[in-house]
Chain A
Amino acid sequence: AQSVAQPEDQVNVAEGNPLTVKCTYSVSGNPYLFWYVQYPNRGLQFLLKYITGDNLVKGSYGFEAEFNKSQTSFHLKKPSALVSDSALYFCAVRGQTGANNLFFGTGTRLTVIP
């Protein structure tokens, strides 16, 4: 069975500091992994995805994520946080190979403190 865990409900970081939002996954076959951001009363905005290739994936708004197969992790990172990065972040994994749906984590609320 496939699943995604976001172990932190809340992450606080000072503006200008690096940020990390953690995600671990469990899936059979090769994982397709995604990060989305959600602002209040808005839909999900795609940030980045890992399908294959380089373990370090760069995405929108300066975010990047590192795929670690041995640790089954896909942590989201940004070198220097902005107040505008404050939002709800979701990690997702495609269901089993060939599936047409994504399984989402429960989300991590990121607050960047000015």
Chain B
Amino acid sequence: DTGVSQNPRHKITKRGQNVTFRCDPISEHNRLYWYRQTLGQGPEFLTYFQNEAQLEKSRLLSDRFSAERPKGSFSTLEIQRTEQGDSAMYLCASSQSIIPWGHFGPGTRLTVT
């Protein structure tokens, strides 16, 4: 069990640029979640995959956000035309259980300048 990994750990980008984050879940975990955490807040759910299927999306996931999980393994989260309000920690979690408690990765901290 090598844990959930996320890359990059930190990303600084200029407003209007596109960014992509990667999450590698624990192997054989078929469930994968993305959360966003802003300063002083708890994580907020963004989206959920079961295998390669994206089964749930939060209203927080605007049209500028897209997530994929090809072949049900790693996942990517892309933000297009970044805005300063996108600055946050983006957390990925994976789980084998139907109960969405998951193992969380270390997160990717995005700073939009």
Interface residues of A, Cβ cutoff 8 Å to B: 4, 32, 34, 36, 41-46, 49, 51, 90, 92, 94-95, 99-107
Interface residues of B, Cβ cutoff 8 Å to A: 4, 6, 31, 33, 40-45, 48, 50, 55-56, 58, 91, 93, 99-107, 109
In the bound complex, residues from chain B placing their C-beta under 8 Å from that of A43 are 4, 6, 91, 104-107
In the bound complex, residues from chain A placing their C-beta under 8 Å from that of B105 are 43
| Interface contacts beyond A46-B103, A49-B99, A51-B99: sample of 16 additional A-B pairs, CB < 8 Å, sorted by A | A4-B42, A43-B6, A43-B104, A43-B106, A44-B43, A44-B93, A45-B104, A92-B42, A100-B48, A100-B50, A101-B33, A101-B45, A101-B58, A101-B100, A105-B42, A106-B41
B57 to chain A, nearest CB (A): 10
Whether A104 lies near B99 (C-beta < 8 A) is no
In the bound complex, residues from chain B placing their C-beta under 8 Å from that of A103 are 45
In the bound complex, residues from chain A placing their C-beta under 8 Å from that of B104 are 36, 43-46
A24 to chain B, nearest CB (A): 14
Whether A34 lies near B101 (C-beta < 8 A) is yes
CA of A90 to CA of B109, assembled, Å: 19
Whether B100 lies near A102 (C-beta < 8 A) is yes
In the bound complex, residues from chain A placing their C-beta under 8 Å from that of B4 are 43
Which residue in chain B gives the minimum CB-CB distance to A34? B101
CA of A92 to CA of B100, assembled, Å: 11
Pick 25 A–B contacts, CB within 8 A, sort by A.
A4-B42, A41-B106, A41-B109, A43-B6, A43-B91, A43-B106, A44-B91, A46-B101, A46-B102, A46-B103, A46-B104, A49-B101, A90-B42, A94-B99, A94-B100, A100-B31, A100-B55, A102-B45, A102-B100, A102-B101, A103-B45, A104-B42, A104-B43, A106-B41, A107-B41
CA of A43 to CA of B6, assembled, Å: 10
Name the one of A46, A49, A95, A106 contacting B42, with C-beta atoms under 8 angstroms. A106
